[in-house]
Amino acid sequence: MKTNDPIKRFVEKDSGTELSPMDPPEAYDPQNIEQIPYDKLNPFLQQLVDEHAAFKNVLNGFEEGLINWRKNNWIFDKEIDEKFKNFFAFIDEKVPVHNHKEEKELFPLLQKKLVEIGEHNSKDSSLTGINIIEDEHIKVAQAAAIVFNFLGLGSRLPDQRSKEITFQAAYEQGIAIIETMKLHIFREENILFSQAMKLFGEEEFTSLFNS
């Protein structure tokens, strides 16, 4: 990645000015990275992309549920309940398994390769774009827990104004999760997975399947 890549810019911070990785449209325009089409990806990476597709469907449903919930003046109905339940079940059951594949199998190998070719923080060679991606895994899990707790708290509050404030906070946090995860998935598929295809040989991919 070059210095104008959004992940690399965020990791570097050499100028003292922190640049947000959420700054559109550049965040969705990874320059100098040759994007690899799905049918050219290694099967291990294809599996991760397929899991991303399932998560994006759940995210879209959650987003629709949140928007309808707000329009419905924070009143739940069967459809909204179902979309929320699908999201939290996926976060609880599917996402940890997916993240484990990335964090324990793919990312250590890719981190090593990125350090070897100099794609790391200029002040600390142990920091690469992988660190940002892993940090987002943690932050999204924490944010999902906050939304879940706000929903439970708001439902029990007797004061209507307090209930609305709590639900508004849950809504905003939920929308932030959706935006973060959509960009997160985009980066993994269009930057990290492409880098893996460029930097890994048969030995590395074989080790992924055997790990």
- Please give the domain boundaries of the chain with CATH numbers for all domains: 48-210 (1.20.120.520)
* Per-residue pLDDT reduced to its tens digit, 95-115: 999 999 999 999 999 999 999
Q: State pTM to two decimals.
A: 0.84
The pLDDT value recorded for residue 27 is: 63
Grade residue 2 by pLDDT with cuts at 50, 70 and 90.
very low
pLDDT tens per residue, range 143-165? 999 999 999 999 999 999 999 99
Q: What is the DSSP code string of the chain?
A: --TTSHHHHHHH-TTSPPPPTT-TTGGG--TT--PPPGGGS-HHHHHHHHHHHHHHHHHHHHHHHHHHHHHTTT---HHHHHHHHHHHHHHHHTHHHHHHIIIIIIHHHHHHHHHHTT-S-SS-TT--HHHHHHHHHHHHHHHHHHHHHHHHHHHH--SHHHHHHHHHHHHHHHHHHHHHHHHHHHHIIIIIHHHHHHH--HHHHHHHHH-
pLDDT at position 28: 67
